[in-house]
Amino acid sequence: MNAQDCPFEKIIPSELLRDAEYFMAHAFNQAIEAWKIDEVPIGAVIAHEGRIIASAHNRSRAANDPTAHAEILAISQAAHALGDWRLNECTLYVTKEPCPMCSGALVISRIKEVFYGLPDEKMGCLGGALDLGALPRSNHHFTSTGGILAGPNHAILQAFFEKKRQYNATDKTNDSAAI
């Protein structure tokens, strides 16, 4: 599989309306960058006072680090940019509902709110499988909204894994023929 052959074009959002779709378009563009280095195409950006202060995509394979998810990397960048680990005035935009690890990091970082593209009923922890942002006994709660640019976010993940399956099937066929 040639990772650089991402069939998706970047979305160029209008600067006139900095709404959830604007910021999600930037997260989607990060997902494209993940595809280009053969990472699961998930991207994230964090906004503070209407401007992006952090942007990242998955790098688990490239970094050989299971914690190098887009959200974790963006949280670290945002904390560094603000000089404070508390992100209580920040909003995260991520292409897929965060997993348990990332959702826990969002609680710890005291994120203000989260917008995500694609819900994840199996592992999503902002309403999919459970909601860590609304734990009743937690000292921090945040709101989350799903479905932002859900179509393109679903399409890129679906296409990535389909291409992976095709590549793996071809690779197995080639291995069998060589024997």
Catalytic residue among 21, 71, 97, 162: 71
Alpha helical stretches, state H, 38-116: 60-63, 70-82, 100-108
User: Is residue 71 annotated as a catalytic residue, yes or no?
Assistant: yes
Residue 38 φ/ψ region, left for φ over 0, alpha for ψ in the -120 to 50 degree band, beta for the rest:
left
Contact partners, residue 44, CB within 8 Å, separation at least 6: 27, 30, 54, 55, 56, 57, 70, 71, 73, 74, 92, 93, 94, 95
Beta carbons of 117 and 71 less than 8 angstroms apart: no
Residues annotated as catalytic (active site), given as ranges: 71
